[in-house]
């Protein structure tokens, strides 16, 4: 990955006189997160991370301050992977789609009543699609959750649904957090990735949706007794994530599962990260 101004400043803040782990202990930010920032792989959007990296306890070197980092952020692109460098027209199309969801439907000024009516109807259709997708996701999550917890129960493990103390543990309202007994894993987070029929072959979503889900896990505190599983209905997305097997900076038990919506069953599971190399596979779903 290419270095950017933020990564250079964090590298300067660490300094040459101490190790990454020493800077991590002083700042309270995980060493893997700092490493990803320094190598230009990851640019945090949470200001708290920069505050900790430049705090008095962190003792940043080379006069690196929180203000300098904030200035650098504005000039740092969020996407650095060359595969996302799309052409101008494609970029505009994606931007238009996003803007339509938040109320700005078109780049062109709407002058006539007919155009306004078309824009209004288009926006209504967009909202209908969003509601339909939400309903489909809710149904999908319920089915996948029921199948998975049923399989776990068949192994003789006790399951208890719990409400997290930290709202950041769960990424959205359909995610599930359960407590297990009689197992090394006691905290189990289940996340759901769902692509509709219209999205199932969209390469942009196939690659970006799982990436976003995995990046969110970087903010989870370490826990040797936690397992996270991402259940998805896209075989292409599943194969895409397998490329990252054992290559993630995430330090924890993380698996992906493939859910067949026709068979209504989980047909495959692969671990792509472990808390440590000595862990045994817990309740692998075959």
Mean pLDDT, rounded, of the chain: 75
Residues 176-207 pLDDT 10s: 888 887 777 888 888 888 888 888 888 888 88
Q: pTM for the full model?
A: 0.51
Q: Give the chain's residues under pLDDT 50.
A: 1-2, 76-92, 94-95, 97-110, 166-168, 278-281, 286
Domains and CATH numbers, the chain: 5-73 (1.10.260.40), 86-127 (no CATH), 135-273 (3.40.1350)
Alpha-carbon dihedral sign for residues 205, 242, 213, 176: positive
Residues 4-30 pLDDT 10s: 888 999 999 999 999 999 999 999 998
């Amino acid at each position: 990955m290419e270095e950017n101004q933020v990564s250079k400043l964090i590298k300067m803040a660490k300094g040459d006189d101490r190790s990454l782990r020493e800077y991590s202990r002083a700042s309270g930010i995980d060493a893997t997160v700092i490493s990803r920032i320094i190598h230009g792989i990851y640019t945090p959007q949470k200001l708290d991370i920069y505050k900790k990296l430049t705090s008095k306890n962190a003792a940043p070197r080379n006069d690196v301050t929180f203000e300098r980092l904030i200035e650098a952020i504005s000039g740092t692109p969020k996407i650095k992977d060359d595969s996302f460098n799309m052409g101008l027209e494609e970029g505009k199309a994606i931007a238009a789609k996003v803007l339509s969801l938040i109320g700005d439907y078109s780049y062109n000024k709407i002058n006539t009543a007919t155009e306004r009516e078309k824009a209004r109807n288009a926006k209504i259709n967009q909202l209908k699609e969003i509601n339909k997708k939400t309903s489909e996701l809710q149904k999908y999550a319920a089915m996948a959750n029921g199948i998975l917890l049923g399989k776990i129960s068949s192994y003789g493990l006790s399951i208890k649904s719990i409400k997290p103390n930290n709202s950041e543990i769960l990424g959205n309202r359909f995610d599930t957090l359960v407590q297990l007994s009689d197992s090394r894993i006691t905290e189990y987070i289940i996340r759901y990735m769902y692509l509709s029929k219209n999205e199932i072959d969209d390469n942009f979503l196939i690659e970006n949706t799982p990436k976003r889900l995995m990046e969110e896990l970087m903010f989870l505190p370490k826990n040797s007794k936690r397992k996270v599983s991402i259940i998805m209905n896209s075989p292409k997305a599943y194969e895409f994530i397998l490329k990252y097997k054992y290559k993630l900076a995430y330090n924890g038990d993380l698996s992906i599962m493939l859910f067949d919506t026709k068979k209504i069953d989980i047909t495959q599971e692969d671990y792509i990260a472990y808390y440590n190399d000595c862990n045994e596979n817990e309740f692998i779903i075959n």
